[in-house]
Amino acid sequence: MAERASRSTVRLDANVIQRAACAGADPETFFVREADTAAVELAKDICRGCPVLRECLMQGLRSNDHFAILGGTTPEERRLIRRRVAYRRAVAA
């Protein structure tokens, strides 16, 4: 079973939070076990079409958060993105 994190684990820019599609949503909606596909899809549905989706994703990648759905991605999806970026940088060097 995945660990749960407090909402304070994720430190998003206040401007991003105010403009986000999830601004009025229950924060617990975004702290779900990845195995709970229905809950993950619910959170991602809120993210789809968000005006600050990219900013949220970038902050999620920088924060190395292991718990929340951020920028429409799960922690595992962000790990894969970071690995791809690191690989591309290594190949380019």
66 assigned to some structural domain? yes
Question: Is it the case that residue 1 has pLDDT exceeding 60?
Answer: no
83 assigned to some structural domain? yes
1 assigned to some structural domain? no
Instruction: Pick the closest to residue 8 from 27, 36, 32 (CA basis).
Output: 27
Residues 5-63 pLDDT 10s:
444 455 677 878 889 999 999 999 999 999 999 999 999 999 999 999 999 999 999 98
Range of the domain at 42: 9-92
Number of domains in the chain: 1
13 assigned to some structural domain? yes
Instruction: Pick the closest to residue 79 from 91, 92, 61, 67 (CA basis).
Output: 61
Q: HSE-up of 1 (CA within 13 Å, CB side)?
A: 3
**Residue 22 annotated as binding?**
yes
38 assigned to some structural domain? yes
4 assigned to some structural domain? no
Burial class from Cβ neighbours inside 10 Å (0-12, 13-18, 19+) for residue 62 reads exposed
**Residue 10 annotated as binding?**
no
